[in-house]
Structure 1
Amino acid sequence: MKPQRNTPALARAGAWPRGGRAVAVIACVAMLAGCSTIKGWFGGDGEKAAAKRAAEPAELVEFTPSASASRLWSASAGKGEDQLGVRQGPVVADGRVYAAAVDGGVRAFDLQSGASVWHYDSDLRLSGGPGVGDGLVVVGSLDGEVVALDAATGAERWHATVPNEVIAAPVIGQGLVFVRSNDGRLSAFDAASGERRWFWTRELPTLTVRGNDGPVLGPGFVFIGNDDGTLAALSLADGRQMWDLPVAQPDGRTELDRMAVIDGTPVLDGTVLYASSYKQATMAVDAPSGRPIWGSDRGGSSRPGLSVDKVLVADRNGTVWGLDRSSGSPAWEQAGLARRNLGGVAVHGDYAVVGDLDGYLHWLRLDNGEFAARERAGRAAIKGAPVVADGILVVQNVKGDLTAWRID
């Protein structure tokens, strides 16, 4: 059964049921908001108030900044995702920022100044962020439409369809466009013509976290994290599965306990692939062979960041971890952002950066995880991972607003 679309209550909870299980949805509302107990739902007013306080986002603590973040420019991509839970974000290539909005089409901006370069207007509800490569900008919609645009001009090059909504940014490279739809399918299209070359499908678990991310490309391979907690390597030529590996085991007494989804795009550096799971697990893998190098019991569903010596992950409780790249052991943890619904982690110079539910950006020192700077990008949540290019960090919030930052 295909997943339902556009159910705000589920999007706010951060979970997406397969098969309409109302009891599981209620559990998700409590658990994914950061609750450690449901005691008090059926108790007195005092217990209810205590449970409510325990679920509230941590208050931001004051600190003495050791770095200065400055806003370079602001712009709008259009009407953003709001409560859809699709984690839209921009992409940067060749000195331009490309961004899509649910209502507003696709826009290109100059990275340095934020000046508008072109605008592709569309009635499609563009839900995933754009992908860029091979002279194309490609974006998908809530209705399974895929549109490829000329990266230089914004002119439409081709159009295709997939069987389900697209809430992940397409990935482009090696002559192909890869589109992940929300039914567990990865489709490969010819980058020049839009003709479908092959598709691969992974069966979805009954319950999974709302939102997913794109695959990552390697020489002759495409790697994808799945909703069942596995990481798979596919042949670029024909989509044949070369190996798969569990990053986290979907075990537990309930479907909620068994959620092990890998929703953030894995990170490939050389021949080592890093993937992180909602079930508090991160793994380093030898990409050509699928051989595990190390595993850690710290992790999260959002996209990890990678520095010279650390893997940066934000777990579902709001703790940011700096894991040693060679062993996976924790070098530091920053627990000051508890229950603030953090997005993916980016590396910006000597800092890890993450956005939160109130639109704040937090810069953490890579050496020890201490707060270095904090600025507010707007008053709407930041769910997607920031992107960094040429020393500039760009982020998009759920209202479709873009901001660009430097750090000194």
Structure 2
Amino acid sequence: MSFRIVLLALILVFATGCSTIKGWFGDSKGKALEPAELTDIASPIAVDRAWSLNLGDGREKLGLRQKVAVEGERLYVSNDDGQVLAINAGTGDVIWDSQAVKTGKTGNRLLFWRRKTIEAGLSGGPGVGNGLVVVGGRNGEVIAFDAETGAERWKAASTSEVIATPLVAGGLVVVRSNDGRTFGFDAADGTRKWVFDRGLPNLSVRGNGTPVAGGELVYLGYDDGSVIALRLADGLLAWEQLVAEPDGRNDLERMADVDGELQLGLSELYATSFRGQTVAISTTNGEPMWNRDIGGYGGLALLADRVVLADPAGTVWALDRNTGSALWKQEALARRWLTSPAVQGNYIVVGDIEGYLHWIRADDGVIVGRDRIENSAILGTPQVSASGTLFAITAEGKLAAYPQPQ
């Protein structure tokens, strides 16, 4: 695994008019970007891996934040070979694959015929709901499968690569494409119901956050540093709010992406920006309730009394939900390019660029557990099932399951 290649994929996307960046990794200064060395944990908790499964290679250099979708006792996951799999969450056994052709096992590695569901490869992780599993591809294609059987239900097309996980809600499938457009497709047959179009800056972090539904609205973060609320029924703009001002002398300085997971409370929405701002926004009118000069390229995790995020330096922060004041910070994971946090019981879990998962106590920020899935970056947010099991995927396609530590 090349740390330098993945780091570039995380920082930059393919920008018009962007000059070559020289000297980032070719001299002694590059060593300052290497991940902080991990130290022994004084009193570690027992972190047990229940099972793992190799899903296929080919994602690492794409910088995709792949993650599983969890529904009940099943996981749904896609790979860059154009396949969608349904997996038993308890055992790791494959229930169905979207090819419906031939499946075999050799040890712990799956073998499939190479007829692809989407020839250009799948980019965003699957979205699940209303009996559907929906995926998007690098060619803009959108495919819906029957969640029970894996049979293809319909196909539709967006106008660009689909990086974000589709949202299934309110009888619609909401798909964010990489050119700034968001589509509302009928969940029954894939008919396009509406499209919302918004321009993009020249340079942005690679990745789009998953749309979030709340009541009659759907919320999205954008590369210009804003959060918008669309009416789910027709895609019309209800309100927008700036999280971070994209100012600066050049495109790199103006990067203010809101790309990670948004979190929805009872009447407030939480968002964080690559530019270093985190905001609580009223869902009623889009007005900010508080803002804090701490932010990240990833998303947020939401607990009863706090929100948790990782900033670009690798510091993990817990902020009070009501005021935004810092409750604690954990700085031992510097420069490890952490994922958005996940909540597993009393622990916060983040993945890093070297394939490690780190368990952090939610009440005080102390690191208490660690496990390495493999020597490959974890880019997508770990997901936790209703039973408390955590699932994470590396950039080379290894999926691992961890029961909740006791």
Instruction: Give the Cα separation in 2 of the matches to 1:120 and 1:371.
Output: 39
Selected match of 2:45 from 57, 60, 67: 67
Match of 1:321 in 2: 317
RMSD: 1.6
Match of 1:351 in 2: 347
Instruction: Give the Cα separation in 2 of the matches to 1:269 and 1:9.
Output: 33
Residue type matched to 2:249 in 1? R
Match of 1:69, SS? coil
Q: How does 1:146-225 map to 2 (within 5 A)?
A: 146-225=142-221
1:69 shift after superposition? 1.3
Residue type matched to 1:403 in 2? A
1:374 shift after superposition? 0.5
Instruction: Give the Cα separation in 2 of the matches to 1:356 and 1:73.
Output: 20
Match of 2:13 in 1: 16
Match of 2:389 in 1: 392
Asked if 2 retains the 8 angstrom alpha-carbon contact of 1:14 and 1:209, the reply is yes
Write out the 4+ residue segments of structure 1 that deviate beyond 4 Å after TM superposition: 8-11
Instruction: Give the Cα separation in 1 of the matches to 2:334 and 2:61.
Output: 21
1:52 shift after superposition? 2.5
Match of 1:12, SS? helix
Asked if 1 retains the 8 angstrom alpha-carbon contact of 2:261 and 2:340, the reply is no
Residue type matched to 2:213 in 1? L
Match of 2:111 in 1: none
**Structure 2 residues without counterparts, runs of 5 or longer:** 100-115
Residues 154, 80 of structure 1: alpha-carbon distance in 2 compared, 3 angstrom cutoff: farther
Instruction: Give the Cα separation in 2 of the matches to 1:178 and 1:245.
Output: 20
Asked if 2 retains the 8 angstrom alpha-carbon contact of 1:75 and 1:401, the reply is yes
Instruction: Give the Cα separation in 2 of the matches to 1:108 and 1:85.
Output: 23
Q: How does 1:301-380 map to 2 (within 5 A)?
A: 301-380=297-376
TM-score, structure 1 normalization: 0.90
Match of 1:115 in 2: 93
Comparing 359-368 with 252-261, which one deviates more in the overlay?
252-261
Instruction: Give the Cα separation in 1 of the matches to 2:346 and 2:311.
Output: 21
Residue type matched to 2:171 in 1? G
Residues 375, 156 of structure 1: alpha-carbon distance in 2 compared, 3 angstrom cutoff: same
Match of 1:364, SS? strand
Asked if 2 retains the 8 angstrom alpha-carbon contact of 1:108 and 1:119, the reply is yes
State the percentage of identical aligned residues: 45
1:55 shift after superposition? 1.5
Instruction: Give the Cα separation in 1 of the matches to 2:358 and 2:211.
Output: 26
Asked if 1 retains the 8 angstrom alpha-carbon contact of 2:6 and 2:63, the reply is no
**Structure 1 residues without counterparts, runs of 5 or longer:** 1-7, 34-40, 42-47
1:380 shift after superposition? 1.0
Q: Is structure 2 residue 406 aligned with structure 1 residue 405?
A: no
Residue type matched to 1:170 in 2? P
Residue type matched to 1:399 in 2? E
Selected match of 1:140 from 124, 136, 141: 136
Selected match of 2:69 from 87, 91, 95: 91
Selected match of 2:272 from 273, 276, 282: 276
Selected match of 1:56 from 34, 51, 54: 34
